[in-house]
Structure 1
């Protein structure tokens, strides 16, 4: 487990100060006295450990371990943010930081560029996906953790940083000037067909609503008269931004979400405050199991007002609100202060963290409460937002997973990019049979073994047969089955050629058109997009999905 150090003052001083404060107010409250007493005990214990423990200890580290262990008893969203992590926290909430504008990560044991953001210093200076980091300034980073390299690359805007990378057999050195990096909440928007617009919303940092508004205005100027808003894989963020995005589609003065907690000050009703940008445009919102928090406010509120058809999978179920409170020495605590409730009155929190046992935390279907949307449709609380039209994720063959997980498709993308200066646009580009055959030849001698689902089933059968004493009776049949289903990698490369080509296509497009290109290229193969277009092209289907139904748990 990794813990973050925090600056502290001498423990004994903390305890004495806290006790004196409580005593000075003559507090008789048992809970407050218990807090003071136990803090004093804790401070005394750290002091004695520092004085008498046989080996040298780091009091700061021990106290931080204690803080994090305490917070783990609550919920995963309540966390301590020491001063040295304040910049990272600010980036998560604002989407802004000083740096070079590149996503970095570790592939096959090497730290490298995974995605340069278009228009920022890394991309402008020519850094590419797959460039392996050798040095940052004077620091050799080949053995460094990715997080350490990220810290070296970040810094105040308009300062310079030297970067040395390896690309194929070449070593490349560049001087980058850090800039204020503002990551857009909408990495892509465009037209799915002549009438249908599409907006991909990946975050709810500062300006998320403005980003969506700008995209919608531009799409409407291009003639779209229906819209798909995609919040799949969006973990949420700033509550105010979610309210303003809902306000783009519903009238002024409507409740979007309310928060309720222990303190009166956190009990707030958030309503729309502006005239909507378009209150009539037919709308689909795409959701999945990784749509959380602010994403669920947007999807849930639009569902409660029967303003949008939700397509995809049930959302994550995070109905908890966090507030950041400043602490001493520029540290902070982000703590859960309330639950949020969407217009129908339901809270979609899926896990009750007040329960100590994991099996008691999930709200059973029998205890989920029934609510109704504006049109009287039946919806439920306690387990995320359920789609109006379900679409399951596509499944992929084990060979495809293996090729991706072992970074073989990624590595081939690097080789391809070095040899090909350009490719057609994302919507036009296809992986040709010639390119695929080159990939198959390139795989010769490379390790990517895997177990197929059928092979795994036979392994399980063999184990159970041995456990239940049937093995001797059926071992011949099991061996025959093994021989028949033992996979051939060469055969699988042909059997699953279409889906492997698709994975190759996304990887190759990323080299030339970056994040926007990957999103654009994926739309034509997206089952949820296909279902959305079918729904939006059929007015009676939309009306039917948004009308009163007898939806059951």
Structure 2
């Protein structure tokens, strides 16, 4: 990679897209010269003129700020499906999701029967340091009653989050002591991990689940790899299912952890040559050799597709699961003067084989575009490998000569159908009413001392969800007016037992406990564990036929 190219690469890795366009301020020449600039100026005058007439003469009082926001959204609706406008009111939450931290008291909560229940205090946060415990009920926040008043999740967040160093007073009821307690907590910066969990499946197999791509993702993945290698990892399962993406730079850095040398990861092409970029590896990664499986599904999009596509094209990883979403457009975050943000599509990205995995769309037809998931279900694609439609005219080759296809997501090397048989109306209602999590939390609190005497491994092997426990859940379901159909219960029973055990494990051993148990009922995970030999042989097989039709059940 040329020196200047490397400098641009390093400079831009923190961006959501390839370029922030100098903070949104660019010369008219970059977009077509004086004629374009004159046209924009004329349209701006027209828009200001219309707004002026509305504000001065319209029969009713209107908010011109709201009208302007609506106009911008309508304008972008006529472009591609992913260009978007983020109003000032949504910017804080948007930045939290991408920057991976916020300022507050550090507590995970759930709303149970109109009561704010502490699921667990976050490690190292103000709540944990003050002695807040799982199971505590938050009754007051800054002397405002928040129990039994219909408060929602956003309402709780708005009251608990705030500027670092500010004080929030809360009053809680602690069921274990049947007592009201008061706390004054000083808000602090609370990290929120994009690596949900990393743990050893067995003596040589590591597992990392990444939920989104944020500014800290590459460091989190690096740290997870170091930890797993220290524990003896020789092969890895990287789970990107339902990861909708995020920062492109984080995806490039993650892919580089698994690729040796200076292999191409992704390149972009746009109308403006400034946005034509090429990104290669170069940093020595923590896991450049050893069997690697990447789990994907229809919810894996954007940055997830850069990682899975690059590793597939370079024959570094076996991609397992179902066809990914198909988002191959790059958005630049452009700060507007009032604090809002324009995320404008400036380029398409291409993975090493030359594929652009953006699925087809018609400008101005966002609703049809996002109906694609429903269409996949109707066509049978979620259940049968031979129902996956690829464009025969868009054939490409991986580094070793295997055929792959462009034009609509990453087609996996090994297809795993989506098994929905356990998701009965009964189970869905248990989720909706939060009965499983509530029961698991109650059980964990009552049996915390006994549970803490076990290791996670012992719990996995020895703990059984008894018939009496299931009966307690069914009683809670009946009390919540949930109809228990015998056939539905039978179909969901094994999965329900696993879910109860997984949530109990989470209350004691956090995310590692949850996934170590939950994954044992995950058919996609279990099928993938049998494919490491196939992953090891990638690029060394004489079979160069198109893949993606191999189905596992």
Q: Normalised by the size of structure 2, how large is the TM-score?
A: 0.79
Asked if structure 2 preserves the Cα contact closer than 8 Å seen for 1:341 and 1:348, the reply is yes
Q: Could you give the per-residue CA deviations for residues 211-236 of structure 1, whole angstroms, max 9, x where no partner exists?
A: 21221122222222111111112121
Report what 1:372 is aligned to: 397
Q: Could you give the per-residue CA deviations for residues 228-254 of structure 1, whole angstroms, max 9, x where no partner exists?
A: 111112121221221121112212321
Report what 2:54 is aligned to: 49
- Whether 1:157 and 2:164 are equivalent positions in the alignment is yes
- Whether 1:95 and 2:100 are equivalent positions in the alignment is yes
Report what 2:446 is aligned to: 419
- Whether 1:504 and 2:513 are equivalent positions in the alignment is no
Report what 2:291 is aligned to: 282
How many Å separate the matches in 1 of 2:115 and 2:72?
Answer: 33
Report what 1:393 is aligned to: 418
How many Å separate the matches in 1 of 2:535 and 2:317?
Answer: 13
Asked if structure 1 preserves the Cα contact closer than 8 Å seen for 2:69 and 2:87, the reply is no
- Residue 534 of structure 1 aligns to a residue whose secondary structure is coil
Report what 2:466 is aligned to: 432
How many Å separate the matches in 2 of 1:552 and 1:225?
Answer: 26
How many Å separate the matches in 1 of 2:219 and 2:312?
Answer: 22
Report what 1:62 is aligned to: 67
Asked if structure 2 preserves the Cα contact closer than 8 Å seen for 1:426 and 1:518, the reply is no
- Whether 1:193 and 2:202 are equivalent positions in the alignment is yes
Question: 1:162-173 alignment to 2 at 5 Å?
Answer: 162-165=169-172, 171-173=180-182
Against the structure 1 CA distance between its residues 297 and 501, is the aligned structure 2 distance closer, same or farther, given a 3 Å change threshold? Answer: same
Following superposition, the deviation at residue 495 of structure 1 comes to: 5.8
Report what 1:73 is aligned to: 78
Report what 1:322 is aligned to: 331
Against the structure 1 CA distance between its residues 263 and 543, is the aligned structure 2 distance closer, same or farther, given a 3 Å change threshold? Answer: closer
How many Å separate the matches in 2 of 1:39 and 1:122?
Answer: 50
Report what 1:472 is aligned to: none
Report what 1:516 is aligned to: 512
- Whether 1:147 and 2:147 are equivalent positions in the alignment is no
Following superposition, the deviation at residue 356 of structure 1 comes to: 4.2
- Whether 1:216 and 2:241 are equivalent positions in the alignment is no
Report what 2:17 is aligned to: none
Following superposition, the deviation at residue 138 of structure 1 comes to: 3.6
How many Å separate the matches in 2 of 1:166 and 1:237?
Answer: 39
How many Å separate the matches in 1 of 2:111 and 2:179?
Answer: 19
Q: Could you give the per-residue CA deviations for residues 43-71 of structure 1, whole angstroms, max 9, x where no partner exists?
A: 22222222233332222222222222222
- Residue 330 of structure 1 aligns to a residue whose secondary structure is coil
- Residue 502 of structure 2 aligns to a residue whose secondary structure is helix
Against the structure 1 CA distance between its residues 505 and 33, is the aligned structure 2 distance closer, same or farther, given a 3 Å change threshold? Answer: same
Q: Normalised by the size of structure 1, how large is the TM-score?
A: 0.79
Which deviates the most, 105-114 or 314-323?
105-114
How many Å separate the matches in 1 of 2:303 and 2:535?
Answer: 28
Following superposition, the deviation at residue 91 of structure 1 comes to: 1.8
Following superposition, the deviation at residue 95 of structure 1 comes to: 0.7
Report what 2:16 is aligned to: none
How many Å separate the matches in 2 of 1:147 and 1:383?
Answer: 35
Q: Could you give the per-residue CA deviations for residues 14-38 of structure 1, whole angstroms, max 9, x where no partner exists?
A: xxxxxxx99xxxx962x54443333
Report what 2:482 is aligned to: 448
Following superposition, the deviation at residue 504 of structure 1 comes to: 1.6
> Pairwise CA RMSD of aligned residues?
3.1
- Whether 1:225 and 2:234 are equivalent positions in the alignment is yes
User: How many equivalent residue pairs?
Assistant: 490
How many Å separate the matches in 2 of 1:400 and 1:299?
Answer: 32
Following superposition, the deviation at residue 377 of structure 1 comes to: 0.9
Report what 1:403 is aligned to: 430
Following superposition, the deviation at residue 315 of structure 1 comes to: 1.1
Which deviates the most, 104-113 or 326-335?
104-113
Q: Tell which structure's C-alpha radius of gyration is larger.
A: 1
How many Å separate the matches in 2 of 1:437 and 1:152?
Answer: 38
Q: Which 5+ residue runs of structure 1 have no aligned equivalent?
A: 1-20, 450-487
Against the structure 1 CA distance between its residues 82 and 497, is the aligned structure 2 distance closer, same or farther, given a 3 Å change threshold? Answer: closer
Against the structure 1 CA distance between its residues 288 and 116, is the aligned structure 2 distance closer, same or farther, given a 3 Å change threshold? Answer: farther
Against the structure 1 CA distance between its residues 128 and 548, is the aligned structure 2 distance closer, same or farther, given a 3 Å change threshold? Answer: farther
Against the structure 1 CA distance between its residues 119 and 515, is the aligned structure 2 distance closer, same or farther, given a 3 Å change threshold? Answer: farther
How many Å separate the matches in 2 of 1:212 and 1:163?
Answer: 35
Against the structure 1 CA distance between its residues 337 and 184, is the aligned structure 2 distance closer, same or farther, given a 3 Å change threshold? Answer: same
Following superposition, the deviation at residue 145 of structure 1 comes to: 4.1
Against the structure 1 CA distance between its residues 544 and 404, is the aligned structure 2 distance closer, same or farther, given a 3 Å change threshold? Answer: farther
Aligned equivalent of 2:42, options 37, 43, 46: 37
Against the structure 1 CA distance between its residues 380 and 165, is the aligned structure 2 distance closer, same or farther, given a 3 Å change threshold? Answer: farther
Report what 2:545 is aligned to: 549
Which deviates the most, 298-307 or 530-539?
530-539
Against the structure 1 CA distance between its residues 70 and 489, is the aligned structure 2 distance closer, same or farther, given a 3 Å change threshold? Answer: same
How many Å separate the matches in 2 of 1:245 and 1:540?
Answer: 20
- Residue 88 of structure 1 aligns to a residue whose secondary structure is helix
